[in-house]
Structure 1
Amino acid sequence: MSNSTPRPVRREYLAALALLALGVVALLAAAPQVWAAVRIDLAEDLAPVTVELSAAELAPVSSALGWTALAALAAVVATRGAARRAVGALVVLLGVGAGTAVVLGIRPTALAAAAEQATTVEGTLGDPAVAWQWPVLAGAGAVLLCVAGVLTLVRGTAWPVMSSRYDRHSAPRATRTGAPADLWRSLDSGADPTDENAEPKER
């Protein structure tokens, strides 16, 4: 990153990366947890069965979107200009998708359908008991992704970019004028003075 970047811009950049990272952590942390438990009352005085439901049953795409957002975090760091803005738009879409999946997954009808699919026993479904902390955590992660994505989309082009000092095209080329002094300088830099396409070798 360039050291000439103004401090407020650098702080804004780091804040957006932190929001994106927190959103990813929230989604991935909530995914394996039990989001709801549904009681199924069986006939013939049999003991009721409790079916536990996680994000895998209620919002299966939330985990996948979280992993995709993790890749987008690396892309924000690696890109610049229009490409970075495109990544920001993608992060917004990931956040909207994750939030929608969470909201749809905890509807009573969705809970009942997931409970029926998760067990082979037949009986009367009771009222689901939702462990709200996990859907809320996933929803908060989705909101953080949206905020980070909007910041990247609107302000990303002003943020620092990765240094290009290691790029191949930025390596100094040996000057080949045919003068003895220039030939010695080429040899000293590690380049072959007889090869027009040779790059100086690193020491």
Structure 2
Amino acid sequence: MSSAPARSRREYGAATLAMAAGAALLLAAAGRLWVTGELDVPGPVAPSPIHLTGADLTGTPTGVGWAGLAAIAGLYAARGWVRRVIGLLTAAGGALVLTSVWSATRSGALADAVAAHAAAAGGTAQVATEPELGALGPAMAAAGAVALLLSGLLATVRSPAWPGMGTRYDRDAAPRQHQAETPSDLWRSLDAGDDPTLDAPGRTDGRAQGADGSAPEGGTATAPLARRPAEPKENS
């Protein structure tokens, strides 16, 4: 049976890989061809073809894709409830992409997008045939959205237990009882963010001594300074 830290590392790795794959799919899908159609141009000329990419139909996959990549770095750097917020926002982004892809690929929305593109190009061209929707681009966007949705939900529930950047360099509030005794112990303490010289044997604070030079209980006393006798003044 695997230990809890090992299981947390596997969950963290799976979630970050799913986020990276989902974000990459969204960015790739936004640049692919989604819609093809034809425009009627005035005059005795053949209809003009028109091609629209996913970014021409909706900008949501591109924005959520970049946000998904940023979420990976955020999960690594953040801790606690901040990770839950990042996971929740990632899941919400995946759901938003699914909604936008469904809305942008409806037949009426496709015709409106082609007409708007023709009007932006200038002239009096009109849509000649019903636009044709490709399957690969929307499928890639939907797959990427689902990956972000599931990985975001997993991060929302489980991310506080995952390893991160900050845990290694945090120092405990209470000093450790075991002090570095060998060079290897010293390097391990430094690597963990501890000061191995704190509370070291023989180390005292002069301000903790009493007025008579005595040391507090468990400390080392400092010898008081000897007073020199006053020298008599010579009469001139």
TM range (shorter): 0.7 to 0.9
Deviations 1:93-140 (A, max 9, x none): 110111111111111111111111212342343121222101110111
The sequence identity of aligned pairs, in percent, is 37
Residue segments in structure 2 that go unaligned for 5+ positions in a row? 173-192, 207-236
Partner Cα distance (1:30, 1:98) in 2: 12
Q: Does 1:150 align with 2:153?
A: yes
Q: Name 1:131's counterpart in structure 2.
A: 134
Partner Cα distance (1:91, 1:24) in 2: 10
Q: Name 1:96's counterpart in structure 2.
A: 95
Are the structure 2 counterparts of residues 31 and 125 from structure 1 closer, same or farther at C-alpha, using a change threshold of 3 Å? same
Partner Cα distance (2:127, 2:57) in 1: 20
Q: Does 1:172 align with 2:195?
A: yes
Among residues 162, 167, 170, which one is paired with 1:159 in the alignment? Answer: 162
Q: Choose between structure 1 and 2: higher helix proportion.
A: 1
Residue segments in structure 1 that go unaligned for 5+ positions in a row? 180-203
**Superposition misfits of 4+ residues, deviation over 6 angstroms:** none
Matches within 5 A, 1:1-203: 6-119=5-118, 120=122, 121-166=124-169, 170-172=193-195, 175=198, 177-178=204-205
CA RMSD of aligned residues (A): 2.2
Aligned residues: 176
Partner Cα distance (1:124, 1:146) in 2: 36
Are the structure 2 counterparts of residues 30 and 124 from structure 1 closer, same or farther at C-alpha, using a change threshold of 3 Å? closer
Q: Kindly name which structure, 1 or 2, has the bigger radius of gyration based on alpha carbons.
A: 2
Return the TM-score normalized by structure 2. 0.67
Q: Name 1:198's counterpart in structure 2.
A: none
Q: What is the CA-CA distance between 1:166 and the residue it aligns to? A: 4.0
Q: Could you tell me whether the CA contact under 8 Å between 1:98 and 1:139 is conserved in 2? A: yes
Deviations 1:20-69 (A, max 9, x none): 11100100111111111111234544210111111222111210111111
Q: Which amino acid aligns with 1:133?
A: L
Q: Which amino acid aligns with 1:149?
A: G
Q: Which amino acid aligns with 2:195?
A: P
